[in-house]
Amino acid sequence: MSEPFGARLRARLDKCGPLCVGIDPSPALLNAWGLDDSPAGLERFSRTVADAVSDVAAVVKPQSAFFERWGSRGIAVLEGVIADLRDAGTLVLLDVKRGDIGSTMAAYAEAYLDHGSPLAADAVTLSPYLGFGSLEGAIASAVANDAGVFVLARTSNPEAAELQAAVAGQVLAGAAAANAGRSPFGPVGVVVGATLPALDHPLDELNGPILAPGLGAQGASPADLARLFAPVRHAVIPSVSRDVLTDPARVRTRTLQYRDACASELAV
C-alpha cells in the first residue's frame, strides 16, 4: 500500500458512500441460510456476503470470533475472505478487539497489520482498557504499514455504559494526539455506538474516523446518525451486520438501502 489508511478510507467513502458491513457468521445466521454450522458453511456464508457487498460498501468488517471458533480451519477461511476483499479493493476492518501490553501487543500488531501476514487487514479494532499507552505499539505498526486502528470508546452495548463513560475522554484525547497534523484522517479511529442517547464527549478534535455500530438489530436507525454526529458527519462510518445478513437473496439490496439512507442522513 502506498497511501496512508486515512487517505484510502476517505477515497473509499467518497466512492461508495458511508457504510461498513459486518460479516458475522454466527450459528444462528448459518442456520437461517440453511447452511451447516461447519467450516464449509462458514466459507459459503462469508464468501457470499463478500461477493455481494465488496463493491458497494466502503468497509467490510469480518468478526474474527466466528472464524476462530473453528480453529485452523476457520482461520483459513478468514484468510481467504480477507484476501478476496482486499483484491477487490474493499477496505477490511478486522474486528478482533485486541488489547495487551509490550511484546504481546506487538505480536497482535504483527498478526493483523503487518504486510507479510496472511491475516493482514486495512484496520483492526482495539480495546484500550489496559491503558491507552498500551496501544502505542499497534498504532506505530499501523502507521508503518499504512493501516489503521479503531479504539473502543463508547460502544453500542448497554453493559459498557458506566465503564466507558468514565474513560472515554482519555481514549478520545489519546486518539486525537495520535492523529494530530494528519490529513484527511489520522490512523486512529474510535468506536462510538449509534445507539447512544447522546454523546458524553465532543468528537470535533478527533481528526480521525468514527465507526458507529448499532444499526438495525441493536435498535439504531440512520436518523440517529444526524442526531448524534452532525458536527463530524464527514468522518462517520455507520456499521450494520445482522439486519443485512438474515436473507442471502437480499444481502446486496439491504446493503444498498442502508448505504443510501445513511448517506442521506449524513449529507452536508
Tell the residue number behind the cell numbers 458524553, with chain if given: 200
Q: Give the pLDDT band (50/70/90) at residue 217.
A: confident
Whether 2 has a pLDDT exceeding 80, the answer reads no
**Using one digit for the tens of pLDDT, what is the confidence trace for 5-16?**
999 999 999 999
pLDDT in tens, 51-97: 999 999 999 999 999 999 999 999 999 999 999 999 999 999 999 99
Residue among 254, 248, 262 nearest 25 (CA): 248
Is 97 catalytic? The answer is yes
| Structure letter (DSSP) for residue 34 | T
Residue that is written with C-alpha cell 483492526 in the block: 124
> Active-site residue among 97, 182, 233, 234?
97
Euclidean distance between CA atoms 187 and 9, whole angstroms: 10
- Taking phi first (over 0 means left), then psi (-120 to 50 degrees means alpha), and beta for anything else, what does residue 37 get? beta
Q: What's the predicted TM-score (pTM) here?
A: 0.97
Q: Which helix (H) or strand (E) holds 184?
A: none
Question: Average pLDDT over the chain, rounded to whole?
Answer: 96
Contact 48, 55 (CB under 8 A): no
Predicted confidence band of residue 1 (pLDDT cuts 50, 70, 90):
low
Per-residue pLDDT band for 174 (boundaries 50, 70, 90) equals: very high
pLDDT score recorded for residue 234: 96
Q: Amino acid letter at 23?
A: I
pLDDT in tens, 101-159: 999 999 999 999 999 999 999 999 999 999 999 999 999 999 999 999 999 999 998 89
Domains of the chain by range and CATH? 5-266 (3.20.20.70)
